[in-house]
Amino acid sequence: MEQVRIIDKPRQACSVESAALTNPNAKVYFILLTNSTSVSLKFSELTKVLLSYKNINFRFLNPYEFSKGSAIEHLIESNIILGSKYHIEHMSDAMRTLILSKYPGLYLDLDVLSLISSSTIEISNFACAQEKNLLGNAVIHIDRKGLKVFDVNLKKFNASYNPNVWAVNGPMMFSDSVRSFCQNKDIEVDKYTKCNDFTIMPTRKCYPIGYPEFSMFYTEDGITKALKRVQQSESYFIHIWNKMQEFGNKNYKMTFNSSAAYVELGKALCPRVLKTVENYF
C-alpha cells in the first residue's frame, strides 16, 4: 500500500485555503496523481487544517486510467512524459487540460491565491495574459461552452509534446492553442480579448506582479509596492511564482511576524494555515 503525505508545504496549503475561504459555497478539489490502486493517507498538520473546511476535498487520480479514450492516451501510456527532466511540470500541464475538458470549472496552480469568489466573475471562460502574446495557464476557468479550445490544446499536446523544455508544453502551447482557436488574434496584456466564447483577460487580473518582480512578495522593501499594486489592479487572483524561488541563493523564508506582502495577504486569505506554521512560512 502506498502511503501519501498529502500536503506539507505551507505556501501550497495557503493557496488551497484561500480558494476555500473565498468560495465557501463551492467544492474545492485537491487532486493528487498516483498509479497505485491502494493508497493510505498520512495527515500532516497542514492537511488537518485544510480538512477543517467543509468544502475542501482530496481526490486521487490515476493518469493512465483517466486518459483512456482521450487525445493524449498514447502519450500517457507510453511514459514519454515520465522520461522528461521536467516530468512533474509536464504531467501537470497535460492533466490540468484533460481534467478541465472532462470536468469544467476553475483550475488553479498551488502558487495562486484567490482574492474573490469566482462566482462574482461575470466571464465564464477565461485565462489571463501573462505577458504580450503569452497566456498563463496557472488560472483557467471554463464551462461547457468553452471546451472547444481544450480539444485544440489536447490534440496539439499529443502531436507536439516536447520533453526537453520546461514551459513549452504549458503556457506556450496553451497560448498557441488559444491563438489558433481565436484566428491568430494577439494576446494583449492590458485589455479584454474575446473570441468564440473564450476571453483573454488582462494581466492585472491574475498576474499583477510578474515573475521578474516575484521577490516583491517576500521582502520588506517590496511590501508597500506589492500590496498597492494588487489593490489598484483589482485582481481576482495572485500568482506568487513559487518556482522562481528555486533559482539563485537568496532565502525567501518568512515567519508570521515577517514584514512581507505575502504574509499580510496570508493573514487575510489563509489565516488557519498561517497560525499552524511553527517555524517558516
pTM of the model: 0.93
Beta bridge partners of 198: 195
Q: Which three cell numbers stand for residue 156?
A: 496539439
Q: How far apart are CA 264 and CA 219, in angstroms?
A: 12
Model confidence at 246, pLDDT cuts 50, 70, 90, reads low
Looking up residue 68, the CATH number of its domain turns out to be: 3.90.550
- Whether the pLDDT of residue 244 is over 70: the answer is yes
When comparing pLDDT for 235 and 1, which is higher? 235
When comparing pLDDT for 191 and 254, which is higher? 191
46-101 confidence digits (pLDDT tens): 999 999 999 999 998 999 999 999 999 999 999 999 999 999 999 999 999 999 99
Q: What pLDDT, on the 0 to 100 scale, is given for residue 20?
A: 98
> Considering the domain boundaries, does residue 40 fall inside one?
yes
Q: How far apart are CA 217 and CA 259, in angstroms?
A: 10
Q: Which three cell numbers stand for residue 81?
A: 512524459
Beta-carbon neighbour count of residue 136 at 10 Å? 25
Residue 270: which domain range? 2-276
192-224 confidence digits (pLDDT tens): 999 888 999 999 999 999 989 999 999 888 999
Give the chain's domain count.
1
> Considering the domain boundaries, does residue 258 fall inside one?
yes
> Considering the domain boundaries, does residue 281 fall inside one?
no
